A and B are shown apart, each in its own frame.
Chain A
Amino acid sequence: EPEVTQTPSHQVTQMGQEVILRCVPISNHLYFYWYRQILGQKVEFLVSFYNNEISEKSEIFDDQFSVERPDGSNFTLKIRSTKLEDSAMYFCASSKTGETRYKGGYNEQFFGPGTRLTVL
């Protein structure tokens, strides 16, 4: 069964360094998402991406964050200058369809196993 994969499973970095988290979505999916979960807290939406551009982003997704689909298979999240508070589990997700902007539509998102980011 196809699944979303993420690499690395655990990334340790020094404060101020740039990190790139990688995701390979399910191959026929067109919509991609990043979420984060700080240890012991709830999952938080960061950004959604479709057709090579950001569809929606949360308040958390500031100028330090960027997303890219550098080729036909990878979807990346870059944090330019990491802070201690960026330490969290980062989940990538993908879906075949998007949320329609009309009543009654929805997608089903498939999540990857996550990358645990530790900023020292």
Chain B
Amino acid sequence: KNQVEQSPQSLIILEGKNCTLQCNYTVSPFSNLRWYKQDTGRGPVSLTIMTFSENTKSNGRYTATLDADTKQSSLHITASQLSDSASYICVVLTSGTYKYIFGTGTRLKVLA
């Protein structure tokens, strides 16, 4: 069954610290993997998109990695800010049926 699992479920860090969020997937066949940031009550905002041939992609303080062999991805946030407090969602697209499989997200809270 196509699934996307994220860990941890929630995370609290102090402002200025780094953190890494994990995503494991069993989706097959694989097309691409996306990381989104979702503020409470808002729509998701795209952070990175990676295809099978890309193993790292950065967007400012956000760096995503992808290991297509182990079917794992991570999102690293550097020098966290209060505005980073949000849910971070990993999404995998299947290339067979072109459907988007969403993870349950990691809820990040950054404290001053």
Residues of A within 8 A of B (CB): 4, 35, 41-45, 48, 55-56, 58, 89, 91, 93, 99, 101, 103-106, 108-114
> Would you give the shortest CB distance from B3 to chain A, in whole angstroms?
11
Query: In whole angstroms, how far apart are the Cα atoms of A63 and B106 in the complex?
Result: 33
Q: Is the CB of B43 within 8 A of A42?
A: no
A108: contacting residue among B49, B98, B100, B105, CB under 8 A: B49
Any A CB within 8 A of the CB of B22: no
13 A-B residue pairs with Cβ-Cβ distance under 8 Å, sorted by A, are: A42-B89, A42-B103, A43-B89, A45-B101, A45-B102, A48-B98, A99-B93, A99-B98, A103-B53, A106-B51, A108-B46, A109-B46, A114-B43
User: In the assembled complex, which residues on chain A have CB atoms less than 8 Å from the CB atom of B97?
Assistant: 56
Any A CB within 8 A of the CB of B72: no
Given the interface pairs A99-B93, A104-B53, the reply to whether A55 lies near B98 with Cβ below 8 Å is yes
Query: In whole angstroms, how far apart are the Cα atoms of A58 and B105 in the complex?
Result: 20
Q: How many A-B residue pairs have CB under 8 A?
A: 60
User: In the assembled complex, which residues on chain A have CB atoms less than 8 Å from the CB atom of B52?
Assistant: 103
User: In the assembled complex, which residues on chain B have CB atoms less than 8 Å from the CB atom of A108?
Assistant: 46, 49
For the complex with contacts A45-B99, A106-B51, 15 further pairs of A-B residues with Cβ separation under 8 Å are A41-B104, A42-B105, A43-B44, A44-B102, A48-B98, A56-B97, A89-B41, A93-B43, A99-B31, A104-B51, A106-B32, A106-B49, A109-B46, A113-B43, A114-B41
Give the size of the chain B interface in residues (CB under 8 angstroms).
26
Please report which residues of chain B, range 20-66, place their CB below 8 angstroms from some CB of chain A when the two chains form the complex.
Answer: 31-32, 38, 41-46, 49, 51-53
User: In the assembled complex, which residues on chain A have CB atoms less than 8 Å from the CB atom of B43?
Assistant: 4, 91, 93, 111-114
Chain B 88-112, CB within 8 Å of chain A: the 1/0 string? 0101010101111111110000000
User: In the assembled complex, which residues on chain A have CB atoms less than 8 Å from the CB atom of B103?
Assistant: 42
